[in-house]
A and B are shown apart, each in its own frame.
Chain A
């Protein structure tokens, strides 16, 4: 299991900063594409509003004569092609550059066919756009997480597909089928992003393309990656043993509830029960007053205490990493927080939005997990899910 998943290990970056998932960032090699994406609306305004300022290019004249949906699709094709062209120089002589150049060529060719009114130009353009959209799955399969520019490009391509597939003159069946199909394709891409994003350390394949990134929603404080000292190892051991001793009294959730933890209605494999009194006190990393307990439900329906989660107070306040790299704290980024009722509602979608009725918390305070369940292969950071299922959840309650 990759240690970058949920704390543990280290993330490279400027000291004091956080390193999150690439999905919520812009890769440096994608900045030229971002500039292109930002300039295209200005070009569109120029073409539509000030045609006299442009040279009399027949291609532009033909494009203006297209129905509105086709004209929009041409813009989507041109935008996506321009973004792909801008990606070529920054990726050097690599397979990525070749793929981007090929995609750009196909997109531009499809746009030209649409403008010049070639036979089956709409179908060709839809196939090229669909191929480019689903082409992201190939990158995901290779372990490469898309960034904000890549996902913005996909949104543009989805717009083009909808414009081509569901024009006003089309029959009801075609419109419904097209919209459903585009939604299904988009969902497929989004599911792929989640699948890769929730397995940590994606892109760490040594080819320099978006390498090494924490799991989606996890923001790691940048560190230097040094090995722990003897004193740090001893401090980590002391923290672990103190926490084990303290948590023994909360094996029964009823005792936790009596102590003020919100440990009712335990469900799932990762149930976090906060103690509001402890989250508001001034103590940090106090084994007698852990801010949160983590429970899971065994296959036989009984709850089991997995460990504790300590929280640092205040944003950008670094927790005391007493064990150095052994006890790395982490924060969460782009968390969707539901307001009705107040509860976690997931993470910001790869499409850039939270569900309705929720707000986006861009960054949380820092926290660290200590796993006290007997035999846990990890004491801090992320607990191996396979081990948890096999050795804890599948085992009947004693």
Chain B
């Protein structure tokens, strides 16, 4: 009787971890650029708020809050370029920031109307049209 030599068991086949998902769509590519634009605006506004606080007007709280928004936007822009499950799960963060932007712009518009002053073009572009575009593009992405 012959015995067959035992062959050590091979490790079970494992599927590669999904480190990278599918390439982002054109919509997500545009969303990412728009988030970068919001990030640049937040960075510059943080700088302005820091200077305002440094020269003795107001407190550093607005600078800290705007800096925090910039960090969130930086993370969101990074995630928008990835299709990984974690990035997709964090998409709610992008939605939340855009909704906050729109809500803040809504409050400003109400105050301006109450004071009888026409809302400005640039806030309408940066704080209404831009977040609304991001929301529409993300909605179409689902």
Verify B120–A352 contact, CB threshold 8 A: yes
Note all chain A residues with C-beta closer than 8 A to B40: 158, 162, 179, 182-183, 186
- Number of residues in B with C-beta < 8 Å to the partner? 51
Known contacts A158-B40, A351-B41; A357 and B62 CB within 8 A of each other? yes
Contact of A187 with B47 in the complex, beta carbons under 8 Å: yes
- Is there an interface contact between B125 and A361, defined as CB atoms closer than 8 Å? no
Whether the pair B58, A179 counts as a contact (CB closer than 8 A) is: no
Q: Is the interface of A mostly helix, strand, loop or mixed?
A: mixed
User: Which of A248-256, A282-290, A333-341 has 4 or more CB atoms under 8 Å from chain B?
Assistant: A333-341
Cα of A343 to Cα of B122 in the assembled complex, Å: 24
B43 and A338 within 8 A (CB): no
Known: A179-B39, A359-B107. A168 touches B44 (CB 8 A): no
> How far, in angstroms, from A162 to B29 measured CA to CA in the complex?
11
Q: Determine whether A152 belongs to the interface, using a CB cutoff of 8 Å to chain B.
A: yes
A351 — which chain B residues lie within 8 A by C-beta? Answer: 41, 44-45, 122, 126
Q: Is the CB of B120 within 8 A of A268?
A: no
Q: Which residues of A contact B48 (CB under 8 A)?
A: 190, 194, 346, 349, 355
Q: List CB contacts (< 8 Å) of B32-77 with chain A.
A: 32-34, 36-37, 39-49, 52, 55-59, 61-63, 65-66, 68-69
Cβ–Cβ contact A338 & B62, under 8 A: yes
Q: CA separation between A182 and B107, bound complex, in Å?
A: 30
Closest Cβ–Cβ distance, residue B83 to chain A (whole Å): 11
Binds B, one of A67-75, A237-245, A384-392: A67-75
Q: A341-B59, A352-B125, A361-B111 are known contacts. Are A187 and B33 too (CB-CB below 8 A)?
A: no
Given A24-B120, A183-B40, A315-B115, output 16 extra A-B contacts at Cβ < 8 Å: A68-B26, A151-B122, A155-B41, A270-B57, A316-B116, A334-B120, A338-B61, A341-B59, A341-B61, A345-B58, A346-B49, A348-B123, A351-B41, A352-B122, A356-B42, A360-B123
Q: Which 9 A-B pairs have the closest CB atoms?
A: A268-B56, A352-B122, A355-B62, A362-B117, A68-B29, A356-B65, A68-B26, A346-B52, A148-B121
Q: What are 8 pairs between A and B in contact, CB < 8 Å? A: A24-B120, A186-B44, A271-B56, A343-B58, A345-B57, A345-B58, A346-B62, A357-B61
Interface positions of B (Cβ within 8 A of A): 23-24, 26-27, 29-30, 32-34, 36-37, 39-49, 52, 55-59, 61-63, 65-66, 68-69, 81, 104, 107-108, 111-112, 115-117, 120-123, 125-127
